[in-house]
Structure 1
């Protein structure tokens, strides 16, 4: 049974989602503020955190920032519908994905399960065998990655997206394929999550010896991991 931390200051919604998630087989701990979320994340191990953005006191963005100081636990943000700023900020701070509110409980469950599936071995490689592309090495089973021998601190989603690119190194992978395979959901119109995640991965990888980014953008199509 996967342990979830649910964080939302709306009492009725908190109770509704807690009940629904429990009925779907999750073990749920529910809190109603950002400070409690940070404390819970530091004291206990969770498979995933569902974190609302708009909360009084410490909001979800600040709570996420503090959680990411010590933990790579997957985080699914609840954002106001149409609020692109909160979505992008959340992704840039290390959120794995977001669901706009109001949302259907079954949609939330589908997103949670999609993220949790990505923590399992995936793709065309044996989970025990590392995948090497130039200075990049990935261990799918352990979900570990190194660049030039140094460990990479990647979120669950960043690892999954990088793995998809590595499995297709030298080829262009469309944004829709990246979203479907790496995030477990189809790409929606005006969805910038793939671009934000790729920007973060590029920053963590750094450049090739010739100064190029190892992840190239193919305008209007998608991204390509360069074989060095």
Structure 2
């Protein structure tokens, strides 16, 4: 029988043990850690199906830990923070968090978010066996999270990589904004939310700067985006 293993990185001892007991009672195997340095070492050397990561940690903060981890691993990560401001959530997601929950949070909501992220991660692993996409000199490697133009590496954030991957893996197909928000930003599309437009604009600019035609990422007004 397969048991899901979760790495819990939280420096608040009381909360760490509370969450550990909550997760264990829900059938998960839990590995506890209380600081960023040891948390990063465990994340890099052990295989976990999900990581619960506090943003404010001693020795190495959660965002720095996540940035380093994303250089080599795409393990699902839910970031936990005492700060619920929108900019804090965006910082976490920009640097590679798959989800974000602010303290104080409802235990049932946390468990549902964990279940949802694990379900999406497992489905993605089963369905998306493609590791590399290459079109006209633009190459994306999902295992290494690398993007290159004519064999020259180009720096992209995790969100930008996800956005470009989603569009390039479905060429000439209009992908709805709602689907992209869920797949790339892990949230529902808001009526006045323009964050995906901002990310797409930056991807276009970086491609143009690398002498690749960024305008091939087209906006289909009222519907979504399309890679031509």
Q: TM exceeds 0.5?
A: yes
Q: Partner of 1:28: helix, strand, or coil?
A: strand
Higher percent of residues as helix: 2
Partner of 2:93: 91
Alpha carbons of structure 1 residues 136 and 64: separation in structure 2 relative to 1, 3 Å: same
Consecutive unaligned residues in structure 2, runs of 5 or more:
none
The reply to whether residue 226 of structure 1 matches residue 222 of structure 2 is no
User: What is aligned with 1:175?
Assistant: 177
CA contact (8 A) 1:31 1:37 kept: yes
Cα pair 1:115 1:184 within 8 Å, conserved: no
The aligned counterpart of 2:125 is 120
Q: CA deviation at 1:42?
A: 2.6
Give the superposed CA RMSD. Answer: 4.1
CA distance, structure 2, for counterparts of residue 29 and residue 148 of structure 1: 40
Structure 1 gaps, min length 5: none
Using the alignment, how far apart are the partners of 1:152 and 1:52 within structure 2?
A: 30
Residue 68 of structure 1 pairs with residue 73 of structure 2: no
Counterpart pick for 1:51 among 50, 53, 57: 53
Shift of 1:67: 2.3
- How many residues of Structure 1 are paired with residues of Structure 2 in the alignment? 221
Q: What's the secondary structure of 1:87's corresponding residue? A: helix
Aligned residue for 2:106? 104
Please give the alpha-carbon distance, in whole angstroms, between the structure 1 residues aligned to 2:64 and 2:198: 18
Mean Cα displacement is larger for which, 66-75 or 97-106?
66-75
Contact 2:79/2:97 (<8 A) preserved: yes
- The 5-angstrom pairing of residues 15-34 of structure 1 reads 15-34=17-36
The residue aligned with 1:77 is: 79
- C-alpha separation between the residues in 1 aligned to 2:82 and 2:110? 14
The farther-off stretch of 206-215 and 59-68 is 206-215
Q: Give the deviation of 1:5 after TM superposition.
A: 0.6
Structure 1 residue 93: deviation in Å?
2.3
Residues 179 and 10 (structure 1 numbering): CA distance in 2 closer, same or farther, change over 3 Å? same
How big is the shift at 1:175?
Answer: 2.8
Distance 1:129 1:100, change over 3 A: closer
Distance in 1 (CA, whole Å) between partners of 2:95 and 2:16 is 24
